[in-house]
Amino acid sequence: MLTSMEVASQGLPLPNADASGDELFRLGLLYSTGQGGAPLDYVSAHMLFNLAAMRGSVEAKVYRKELSEEMASEDIAEAQRQAREWLARG
């Protein structure tokens, strides 16, 4: 999965535009737990769960909701902004 990543300007790996909902969900899990070489980053995890949900991942909707309960509203807004930006680059 990480081999199909491109590097974003901030140095964090982002999925390619053709990533499936399952790939986005799995990457979100890595960011939400800080495993697999990904930093613990709830904003990125929320962004990835949001994108995964848009691509049909039911699990991502559940995880996004649970994660958002632990996040500040401004962090959720930032995650949503990043998701829109990623979609626009697609």
**What are the tens digits of pLDDT across the range 14-42?**
788 889 999 999 999 999 999 888 889 99
Q: Residue 24: is it exposed, middle or buried by C-beta count within 10 angstroms (0-12/13-18/19+)?
A: buried
Higher pLDDT, 8 or 89: 89
Decide if pLDDT at 1 tops 50. Answer: no
| Domain range summary for the chain, segments of one domain joined by + | 24-89
Look at phi and psi of residue 80 and say left if phi exceeds 0, alpha if psi is from -120 to 50, else beta.
alpha
pTM of the prediction? Answer: 0.84
Per-residue CA distances from 18 to 7, 12, 30, 31, 71 (Å): 15, 18, 19, 19, 28
Per-residue pLDDT tens for 59-72?
Answer: 999 999 999 999 99
